[in-house]
Amino acid sequence: MPAERSGEVLVINTGSSSLKVELVPSRTKVTVERIGTTPAVLSNSREPDVILLPKGVKDHAHAFEIALGQLNELEANFKIIACGHRVVHGGERFSEPTVIDPEMLQAIDDLSSLAPLHNPGNVMGIKAALEALPAVPHVAVFDTAFHSTKPPRAYVTGLPKRFYERQRIRNYGFHGTNHDFVTARAARQLGRDRSELKIVSLHLGNGCSACAVKHGESIDSTMGFTPLAGLLMGTRPGDLDPGIMLTMLERGITVDELTEIVNRESGLKGLSGVSNDMRDIRRVAERGDEWAELAIEIFTYRCRKAIGSLTAAMDGVDAIVFTGGIGQNDPLTREEILAGLEWLGVKVDMKRNSIGMTVFSTKDSTVSALTIPADEEGLIAEQALALLWDRVVA
């Protein structure tokens, strides 16, 4: 069934522990957070207060049911013409938005081993939406798609070539939808064409990644075969010597236990012993907790190193963009990440940074520093409609 050109696209964005649904273009949004924990949190774009759900939310399917019910309370007589789904891992098979059918949904599920925190939730969200809204077309937009332009030197690993040739084990990269959006928006903010610029994009939230966008294309990123690699994250360790994991296995840790450790127990949460939320960790660090202080220091240090390496990959940099929950809302973290990078040409205007100005570098800075709010939902809706309209025209 083709999508009409007027009406709402319902965008479903399932994260590792959250689900967001948003109507585009009306931009009414409902978010369910802390899925699988007690209490869960329900919020929407119309009301300032959050609603605590003391019994929790069991899984992403349950979260979708709650979110859709909330949308119906907030909006009267809206017409959904299409659903756009954010899917984290598309492997090499999916490099562009794709209409969802049973075979394609199974392929997404088969990729869950590569993104165990995300693809299972994506699949549950899609199934719930298909059941609730069977009469509208559903389109998957993949986090990995933007990184399909990476050259082999960036995505081929150092393993024997048979692992790539037979099993497609390689570095994929993630958060591509948002890296695409924020770098395009940053270029417009600077009054430049993205095809002229070299941009380092930092997506910093519970999941974190940095991306080198050269002349409008992703040429490298910090995440790899799975969303575990690269920067320190909320519950994931980022780059880790594989010998460490081999040693853990040799000492009796099972594969299932190791999977749990590296996906849900590491990163900021594991180091601080407090939380995966930077706000909680800073409050404890302010009281002098050494591990909380160290967790923050490692986080900002990894980001600073990534800026340097990705700048080298592009032979220079024109702009550094911060996005995601931490990147766009935490001035102190931005300041700490950029501290000491004056040699690169970036200078921070402390006042502009503290009040969250879009461009917060000084006027004489040769490298611009910006904060761009994430809008994966807007881009997913745009890409879903474009695909469906192209099919109608064809």
Cβ pair 11, 177 in contact under 8 A: no
Q: How many CA atoms lie within 13 A of 117 on its CB side?
A: 21
Beta bridge partners of 43: 31
Q: Is 325 left (phi over 0), alpha (psi -120 to 50) or beta?
A: alpha
Cα separations in angstroms, 208 against 100, 125, 229: 27, 22, 9
- Dihedral angle sign, alpha carbons of residues 380, 386, 390, 392: positive
The residue annotated as part of the active site, out of 143, 180, 330, 375, is 143
> What whole-number distance in Å separates Cα of residue 83 and Cα of residue 385?
9
CB atoms within 10 A of CB 320: 26
> What whole-number distance in Å separates Cα of residue 55 and Cα of residue 8?
31
Q: In which residue are the tokens 């392929």 written?
A: 107
Cα separations in angstroms, 2 against 98, 108, 210: 14, 23, 36
* 101 part of the active site: no
End-to-end CA, the chain: 14
- 3-class DSSP state of 219: strand
Cα separations in angstroms, 143 against 19, 177, 253, 336: 16, 5, 31, 28
Cα separations in angstroms, 127 against 8, 34, 60, 62, 138: 20, 20, 10, 11, 10
Ordered strands of the 138-142 beta sheet? 51-53, 40-44, 29-33, 18-24, 8-14, 80-87, 138-142, 98-99
Cβ pair 127, 87 in contact under 8 A: no
| Residues classed as catalytic | 143
